A and B are shown apart, each in its own frame.
Chain A
């Protein structure tokens, strides 16, 4: 088996056993990255960083001091600040920005011995579900439909570069961030695993902010075990993030068990919606049976405010974004465009040239819903509905331990196929409620649809119950037998 076909757990084992070195692993993945330019998955490639970390890992292993990710080269979503390495957030407005600091999550990964293959392309400021809003062009999914056509498909978004790189085997794992589905939807579209932990588990410090009450970092990899390994290294209390949870990080990998005896799995009636392809409903039914086979008991539950989650999200997220993105003013970093010679003109010209259409749209919506006279009608109202959505979950978890739903209402679509912003927003219909409630949630591959494209199943857990989510995902992974990989064309 080639090194790039191995999981993180297999790479770790092989390096421990002395079958190959971290340097060999880094070289193999560097070559894979260099050969996959057609995917446009990376905004910056950093092969030297990967080699330096690999050499350090080999030296540490020789001394018996290897960290949990020693010699594992990873892709880092370009939303994480990386010291001395360009960080763009997929936006033109951060052109030339080289952070003088490292995000806590990527620093934690480095401390564990991981290397960096490069920065992964993404929707601009993580605003998008198809990667088409990136200022650096969309990531192309490694997957193709089985119709003999050659249509370029989206890997999903916003963590599309992360998803494409892992699915294509050019990175064994990657960081993602999830504000309203940005880890889970691309994981589903590309046939990989992706977990968003409880809000506050992973530090937001050094992650370019989109919507601060929703943003959460997580891991993306080919297997549930690999996601657990990565998340364990990423998470942890950070005094530099005021919403970071001051709790020890559980040993999620050691705690993995697909025995679900005694677990009740909630099936929410409201997630059965019109217009979802029958393949997805059928997979959902399979998922229920797989979990039953693992010992769990399916129970019907109701999350009555589900239909209001998306409109709530599309008030709160743009409102927070309009505030967060006020910092891009042409003064401290990134792009500056002189306008009419004055200061206000410079701000407006810089932001006009630096932001893409979707980011401008969301800043405009956010500015409107926060403006005098509309704040209560829109923003406060949305925060009240958010309380109801949170209460829905709290009530549901009185009669179940986990919730199973499809991850997305469709398989991957073609680039350029969805042009209406509202239609694009609907792609996150199943992912957004858990984001609004801050709950841990994960997508795990379940099968292929009639077009030969991957579909994901989605598990939502109680606050802080990442272990329950990972274990149920493991039970599905063991039973779904999803071993499909995209055929290499790039």
Chain B
């Protein structure tokens, strides 16, 4: 499979990265080179092979369901580019 300009533009939109037409054009052959290379996996017979989900076998732990954290609003907001009235501030979404 390979990607064209329109598909790369769509991937950039999904990835939320603004790109100029020139950047998109430059990425098409780069991505196709990488995609063409990883496609050699198609020649590996994986019939009946389970996808690996945990690299070291172990059970996911459960913990008691009680509050262990919180009361640190100022620390949470300290690095925000914009914070107002104790909240993260973003550009207006709904008119």
Nearest opposing residue in chain A for B20, CB measure: A352
Contact of A329 among B16, B30, B41, B60 (CB under 8 A): B16
Quick one: given A311-B37, A383-B53, A387-B52, are A242 and B31 in contact (CB under 8 Å)? no
In contact, B17 and A355 (Cβ under 8 angstroms): yes
Quick one: given A311-B37, A314-B38, A385-B46, are A97 and B79 in contact (CB under 8 Å)? yes
Contact of B55 among A311, A326, A437 (CB under 8 A): A437
In contact, A381 and B40 (Cβ under 8 angstroms): no
A326 to B15, CA, bound (A): 8
In contact, A314 and B34 (Cβ under 8 angstroms): yes
A261 at the interface (CB under 8 A from B): no
B22 at the interface (CB under 8 A from A): no
Find the residue from B17, B41, B49 having the highest chain A CB count within 10 A.
Answer: B17
In contact, B80 and A242 (Cβ under 8 angstroms): no
In contact, A315 and B14 (Cβ under 8 angstroms): no
B50 at the interface (CB under 8 A from A): yes
In contact, A245 and B51 (Cβ under 8 angstroms): no
Number of interface residues of A (CB under 8 A): 73
Specify which chain A residues have a CB less than 8 angstroms from the CB of B39 in the assembled complex: 311
B93 at the interface (CB under 8 A from A): yes
Q: Is the interface of B mostly helix, strand, loop or mixed?
A: loop
Contact of B91 among A98, A338, A378 (CB under 8 A): A338
A183 to B46, CA, bound (A): 31
A262 to B61, CA, bound (A): 37
In contact, A311 and B40 (Cβ under 8 angstroms): yes
A351 to B14, CA, bound (A): 12
Contact of A200 among B27, B56, B63 (CB under 8 A): B56
A365 at the interface (CB under 8 A from B): yes
| Per-residue interface assignment for chain B, residues 20 to 51, with 1 indicating a CB less than 8 Å from any chain A CB and 0 otherwise | 00000001001101110111111010100111
Number of interface residues of B (CB under 8 A): 51
In contact, B52 and A386 (Cβ under 8 angstroms): yes
In contact, B91 and A342 (Cβ under 8 angstroms): yes
Tell me the minimal C-beta distance from A99 to chain B in angstroms.
8
In contact, A371 and B14 (Cβ under 8 angstroms): yes
Specify which chain A residues have a CB less than 8 angstroms from the CB of B33 in the assembled complex: 421-422
Identify which of residues 258-278 in chain A touch chain B, using a CB-to-CB cut-off of 8 Å: none
A38 at the interface (CB under 8 A from B): no
Specify which chain A residues have a CB less than 8 angstroms from the CB of B82 in the assembled complex: 336
Specify which chain B residues have a CB less than 8 angstroms from the CB of A97 in the assembled complex: 79
A214 to B12, CA, bound (A): 25
In contact, A315 and B38 (Cβ under 8 angstroms): yes
A342 to B95, CA, bound (A): 11
A449 to B42, CA, bound (A): 38
A377 to B27, CA, bound (A): 21
Specify which chain B residues have a CB less than 8 angstroms from the CB of A312 in the assembled complex: 41
Quick one: given A338-B91, A378-B38, are A371 and B53 in contact (CB under 8 Å)? no
Specify which chain A residues have a CB less than 8 angstroms from the CB of B53 in the assembled complex: 383
Contact of B17 among A200, A239, A315, A351 (CB under 8 A): A351
Tell me the minimal C-beta distance from A313 to chain B in angstroms.
9
A213 to B33, CA, bound (A): 25
Nearest opposing residue in chain B for A464, CB measure: B56
A291 at the interface (CB under 8 A from B): no
A360 at the interface (CB under 8 A from B): yes
In contact, B79 and A98 (Cβ under 8 angstroms): yes
In contact, B30 and A390 (Cβ under 8 angstroms): no
Specify which chain B residues have a CB less than 8 angstroms from the CB of A322 in the assembled complex: 15
Specify which chain A residues have a CB less than 8 angstroms from the CB of B80 in the assembled complex: 331-333
B81 at the interface (CB under 8 A from A): yes
Contact of A311 among B38, B75, B91 (CB under 8 A): B38
Contact of A422 among B27, B34, B55, B75 (CB under 8 A): B34
A368 at the interface (CB under 8 A from B): yes
In contact, B18 and A330 (Cβ under 8 angstroms): no
Specify which chain B residues have a CB less than 8 angstroms from the CB of A380 in the assembled complex: 51
A438 at the interface (CB under 8 A from B): yes
Nearest opposing residue in chain B for A326, CB measure: B16
Specify which chain A residues have a CB less than 8 angstroms from the CB of B54 in the assembled complex: 243
Nearest opposing residue in chain B for A390, CB measure: B52
A176 to B89, CA, bound (A): 35
B67 at the interface (CB under 8 A from A): no
16 A–B contact pairs at CB < 8 A?
A99-B79, A100-B72, A100-B78, A100-B79, A199-B55, A200-B58, A239-B61, A331-B90, A332-B88, A341-B91, A361-B27, A367-B14, A377-B1, A383-B52, A384-B51, A390-B52
18 additional A-B residue pairs with CB within 8 Å, beyond A239-B61, A308-B44: A199-B55, A214-B55, A242-B60, A308-B40, A312-B41, A315-B41, A329-B16, A331-B80, A336-B82, A338-B91, A343-B93, A344-B16, A348-B17, A351-B15, A360-B17, A364-B17, A384-B52, A390-B52
Chain A contacts to B: CB under 8 angstroms = 96-100, 198-200, 213-214, 239, 242-243, 245-246, 305, 308, 311-312, 314-315, 322, 326, 329-336, 338-339, 341-349, 351-352, 355, 360-361, 363-365, 367-369, 371, 374, 377-378, 380-388, 390, 421-422, 436-438, 463
